[in-house]
Copies of this chain bind each other. A is one copy, B any other.
Amino acid sequence: MPPRWVHDDNAALLTDLYQLTMLQSYFDAGMNDTAAFDLFIRRLPAHRNYLIACGLDDVLHYLETVRFSSESLSYLKSLPHFSAAFLEWLGAFKFTGDVFAVPEGTPVFANEPILEIVAPLPQAQFVETFVLNQIHGQTVAASKASRIVHAAAGRTVVDFGLRRMHGADAGVKAARAFYIAGVDATSNMLAGRMLGIPVAGTMAHSFVQACANELDAFRTFLRSFPATILLVDTYDTLAGVRHVVQLSRELGAEFRVRGVRLDSGDLDALSRQARRILDEAGLNDLEIFASSGLDEHSIHRLVESGAPITGFGVGVKMAVSADAPYLDNAYKLVEYAGRPRIKLSEDKVTLPGRKQIFRRTDHDVLALYDEALDGEPLLKPVMVGGKRTDAGRDSLHDARMRVSKAIRSLPARLLALEPAEAYSVEVSPRLRALQDRLLGSVNVLDPTRQLSAPSPRRPAERS
């Protein structure tokens, strides 16, 4: 029976057919020189003033482990596209190149390479689909979560989104991205198991419904979990809160309930009424936790209005980044065989050549990789010759701390939930001159004319 899940042994097939047909043709033509590809976002969605780069660790794991199993090769052999010699070569395929990347948790902007892969052309070409899939999904997730964490202004944020994420892998990877972006915990046990992320959760409406009545449900649950958060809105939110008060009287010194969760209705009004009921009963320490269709806008309104809510459970709108579920990302050839390359498709003209990003106080400069400009260079060598460097071994904690620090140093306007004036990303004079030179040299009507220009400095060739 064919497998149902993606794993290390079949991830090589998680690619587009055209990668493999191109590889067959590169193989036939002996095209194996060094290529550099940039992964970048062409433009930010309307409601994103910054993005949080995320997903690198899963990319590096893939690059370290990607192989064609005999089972994968059998499938390819069953198709009409590939020669026996090519499939034999593919059986020995591995990634031996270099990767330069912005560390996970770094804010990035339009046209800035999140990563640059430098490897023999077939390798750098082949990995495109998987690398885009993982960086895209996790960057979408981290960028959305960062807005939500900022809106919560120090209050707890818990990811409740697994049930509506797109599939099982997103369930784990988005939880990871959310944690990097500052979310405090996840309901997802597998993310807890795989990544060590704190897990949270207590009870659902079904528990209350299955018991004879709400009070009985609370009593039953407290026998198992005395220090829990009780869900109070199954039938009537404020009646539910009063049941908690009644229990506090019944249980006296044994009463250890930590809080209540509201999951429907007007959370602002209900949280104030619940707070009053709890305070009047002397239950001032009980926290009020809120969920139900929350996003950064509704959380911001609740925080601004002073609603007495100490934590938010956030579901689908963060889970799928509902207002911006995708990014306009690209993975483009910028150099091959020592010559910078350009693409001129309408509205999609690329910046040629290998690059570096220099971050300054209030703007970035996008430059060629061998320029030495002021500012912090963001692209770090995270893999050399197919092996991770120390810079490629960030912990989840490192990435999370990086977001926390970087957000504080972003220009304040970018943290607004509404669209702000774009962060400035300048192009260095040398990079601009190279682009202009290539634009001028392209004459597609004359096929004898070369479409590339000599590189300002030829990088070391790799086999």
Interface residues of A (CB under 8 A from B): 2-8, 10-11, 13-22, 24-26, 28-29, 31, 35, 37, 58, 61, 72, 75-76, 79, 81, 121, 125, 128-130, 132-134, 136-137, 140-141, 160, 162-174, 187-190, 192-195, 199-207, 209-216, 220-221, 223-225, 228, 233-237, 239-240, 242-243, 246, 263-265, 316, 319-322, 325-327, 329, 331-333, 336-337, 341-348, 442, 444-445, 447-452
Contacts and interface: CB of A to CB of B under 8 A. Distances in A.
A174 B133 CA distance: 13
Contact of A58 (B4, B160, B164, B265): B4
A326 B332 contact: no
A235 B160 contact: no
B345 A263 contact: yes
A167 B175 CA distance: 12
Contact of A225 (B81, B171, B201, B203): B81
A401 to B, nearest CB: 21
A169 B447 contact: no
Contacts of A3: 194
A213 B160 CA distance: 51
B137 A165 contact: yes
A195 B2 contact: yes
A450 B21 contact: no
A17 B313 CA distance: 13
Nearest to A140: B166
Given A22-B204, A234-B345, A320-B320, A447 B243 contact: yes
A228 B207 CA distance: 58
Contacts of A132: 163-164
B162 A166 contact: no
Given A14-B168, A17-B189, A17-B199, 4 more contacts: A7-B7, A165-B166, A169-B170, A214-B447
B201 A18 contact: yes
Give this chain's copy count: 2
Given A190-B13, A194-B4, A165 B29 contact: no
20 contacts: A2-B193, A10-B190, A11-B168, A13-B189, A17-B192, A19-B201, A31-B210, A125-B204, A133-B164, A164-B326, A164-B329, A167-B170, A167-B171, A209-B343, A214-B447, A233-B345, A234-B343, A235-B344, A235-B444, A263-B345
A59 B236 CA distance: 33
B336 A6 contact: no
Given A17-B189, A189-B15, A451-B212, A25 B167 contact: no
A421 B4 CA distance: 39
Most buried by B among A211, A342, A444: A444
Contacts of A264: 345-348
Contact of A333 (B76, B188, B206, B236): B206
A5 B206 CA distance: 30
Contacts of A37: 206
A379 to B, nearest CB: 20
Contact of A319 (B187, B221, B326): B326
Nearest to A128: B163
Nearest to A58: B4
A89 to B, nearest CB: 13
A76 B193 CA distance: 9
Contacts of A17: 187, 189, 192, 199-202
Contacts of A450: 212-213
A335 to B, nearest CB: 10
Contacts of A24: 224-225
B190 A14 contact: yes
A369 B293 CA distance: 31
